[in-house]
Structure formats: C-alpha cells, structure tokens
Amino acid sequence: MSLGIFPTSEVLFRGGIVGTSIAYYLSRHPNVLGDTSVYVLESSYIAAGASGKAGGFLALNWHGPTTSSLAALSFKLHEELATEHDGEKKWGYRKLVTLGIDSDPNSNDGVETVPHAEWIADVVGSVEPLGDETTTAQVHPFLMTNALISAAQDSGVNVTIAKAETIVRNEETKEITGVTAVTRSGEILTIPATDVVFAAGPWTGTITTQMLGEKAAGGAANIIPSNRSTSIVVSPPESRELTPHALFCTLVLPDGSHGQPEFYPRPDRTLYVCSAGMSDQTPLPEYAEDVVHSEEGVRRLKERLRIVVRKEWIGDVLESDNFIRQACYRPDSSKTHLPVIGKIGDGLWVASGHEVWGILLGPGTGKVMSELLLEGKEKSANISSLRP
C-alpha cells in the first residue's frame, strides 16, 4: 500500500500545519506497515503559507458544538506534542493569560492598568479576562510545523518539493495509482499513491476543482481563500520584557473609527500583531512565497501598536522599520464556515477550511485523518458535522 499525502501549497498540494500533522500521525499509527509509504508534496517550502505567518494562538473553549470535540482533542494534543518533542524550547509552546481590552480615550470610564504586564499601556475603558493558563496557550506555527515534519521524516515520511499536476488512475479499474508533479527545474515526477488528501489551505477549492472537476470535488470545492491578512512582528529593546498575555482589543482610534487588533507576545521576545481592520481583496497568488504584505495594513498595525503598547517597549523599532512585515491567506469554508474533513471519493480526501483556527485544530485533524485513512473511522473526536 502506498499512501500519498499531498498538503497543497500554492496552486497545488502544500505542507502546512494540517498536512504535516496528518503525515506525523500517520507515521505513528499502529496500523502503518512496512509497505506503507507516506508522501508530502509541497510546491514551495514547509509552512510557506498561513502556517508560517499565523499568530499561533490556541483556545480550548472558544468553539461551537460542531467543532468543540475536535478543539478539545487538538488542545490536548498540542500539550502532548510539546511534552514529547520539547515544544517549549523548539516552537515556543506555552500557556497564556488572555485578555479582552475595550478602550476609548473619549469615554468617561476610568483608567485601568493591567497588573503584572508593564508593557501594556493604561486602558481608558475595561480589561476583561478571556482565558487563563488552563484554557489558552500559544505556539510559533512556523517552528512547530517544521518540527512536526522533521519528526515525521525521521519515521519515514517522504517530502517532495514539486507542484502536483494530475492524478494518475488505472485505465481499467479507475483506481488511483499516483500523482504527477513538476519541480521548479521542470523535472516531471510520478509519485505512487492509493489515497490522496487535499489539505491545501486556501488553494483547496481551486485545486480540487481543477484536478477532479467541481462535481467530484464536492465539499472541497467550497473552500476559498480569505482576504489577505497582513501582520507584523516587532522586537522590544533588550531591557524590556514581554509577559505572556495575549490581547484581543476593541479600540476607538484617533479618527473615531474602530480597530480590533490582536497581540501575541512570544517567548523569543518578539511581539506578533495582526488584524489591521481592512477588507483586502488582493487575489491569492499561485505560490505562497509570492504573497506580499499590504503597506496600508502595516501602517494601521503600527498605529494600533502605538496605542496598546507603551513607548518604552516599542523603542525606535517602528521608526527604523526594523521589523518583520508579512501576509497570508486562510482557508475559508464558503458554505458552512466550518472545517471540511473526510472522504470526497474513492481514495480522495479533504482536510481544510479551518479558517482562523488552523493552527489550533491542525494536530486534532491530523489524528482523526490518520484514523479515517487507516481504520476507516475516526475515533478520537466527533467530526460528524464536518464531513464533506
């Protein structure tokens, strides 16, 4: 048996958090035998898309009934993976206090100071707890995704950097026998496969439709890219520490408009900032590496950063432009706004549409997909409402 796992990147299969999690849990499933091969086909590099640009925030109980079982499984798996593979050191896993900040400088509310978090500016409004160290945590998604694929490779998973082109079938039985792919140098490869998993992030709908046709793609065809999301990562001066407080803010800005930025301080002493508050409909490019940030988005995030974080912690970073600018697209499920996980045809599977919760739900999705592929039924979580 040859099992082809093709997390699509760009136009075709990619190696994001979902695809690498599937590969990881397949490589450790007790039903994996010596003649089982697992392939990850990636057209750019591991975590080139949102899995390398996301904030990495994890929440246990911020989910509705359709995804709560998968979220609980995945939240637990994040901690287990960190324990087994030294995730605290390798990918910045840690538990967090999460706060909601509602600030309006023109209001009559009192001024609140967040205790034990000197980097957060005084708030004219309210500060509410949204999660504690039992319910919220974080990872550095780029580092985690690469660590998972490295562990999977140590267990025999194959990673090929090439763009998938077609599914190969037996002319008589019509069973899947492989996938053709093209490298950047133009070399044509044929990778053996009996099962193909479309874990293509925001490219899922386009890829499945192109390769299978809209009817055969089924629920996978409804996965579309989100608007482009710009984020920045800044480093405070060496003398200033960032405490583990994730922030979800609602701000009244100087021009009277509203902003809802999010702030994730990381153990590596950087601060990730996202949610620029704009409808950025720049089309999804063919390759993740071709995604560029929005200068207007960066400007807005800098404005929000100056409001929420004390000047001493920003230093001259924003003025010197010595910080990271980046952008990504998420996979949105246009019909259900829920992940789509399961079988779409003989030997054809989909695991995508996780929207803003891809990093959280990645390990859980990998676990249940390994069960579906090798046992025929998911056991670890209830995903009955998420099937294609």
| DSSP calls for 199-213 | --GGGHHHHHHHHH-
CA distance 147 to 143: 6
In CATH, which of 3.30.70, 3.90.1010, 1.20.120, 3.30.9 is domain 97-132+227-328?
3.30.9
pLDDT at 300: 97
Give the C-alpha separation, 98 to 136, whole Å: 7
The secondary structure of residue 124, as a DSSP letter, is E
Query: How confident is the model at residue 14, as a pLDDT?
Result: 65
CA separation for the pair 196, 178 (Å, rounded): 9
Q: What predicted TM-score, i.e. pTM, was given to this entire model?
A: 0.94
- pLDDT the model gives residue 306: 95
Q: What is the pLDDT of residues 238-290, one digit of tens each?
A: 999 999 999 999 999 989 999 999 999 999 999 999 999 999 989 999 999 99
Fill in the amino acid letter for 289. E
Q: Residue 317: its pLDDT value, please?
A: 85
pLDDT score of 33: 63
User: Could you say which residues of the chain have pLDDT below 70?
Assistant: 1-14, 33-35
- As annotated, the residues of the chain forming the CATH 3.50.50.60 domain(s) are 2-86+139-224+332-375
Q: Are 206 and 219 a contacting pair, CB within 8 Å?
A: no
Q: What's the confidence (pLDDT) of residue 321?
A: 84
Q: How far apart are CA 54 and CA 203, in angstroms?
A: 17
Q: How far apart are CA 253 and CA 220, in angstroms?
A: 39
CB 180 within 8 A of CB 164: yes
CA gyration radius, the chain: 21
Looking at domain 2-86+139-224+332-375, its CATH class is: alpha beta
Beta bridge partners of residue 59, listed in sequence order: 136
Q: Residue 10's pLDDT is what?
A: 24
What's the confidence (pLDDT) of residue 15? 85
Parallel/antiparallel/unpaired status of strands 163-169 and 324-328:
unpaired
pLDDT at 2: 35
- For residues 34 and 160, the answer to whether their CB atoms sit within 8 Å is no
Per-residue confidence (pLDDT) for residue 211, from 0 to 100:
93
Q: Round to whole Å and give the CA distance between 76 and 7.
A: 23
Place of tokens 């192109």: 210
What b/e sequence results for 366-387 when a residue is b if at least 16 CB atoms lie within 10 Å of its CB, and e otherwise? bbbbbbbbbeeebebbbbeebe
Residues of the chain with CATH 3.30.9: 97-132+227-328
Alpha carbon dihedral 81, 344, 329, 385, in 10-degree steps, equals: -70
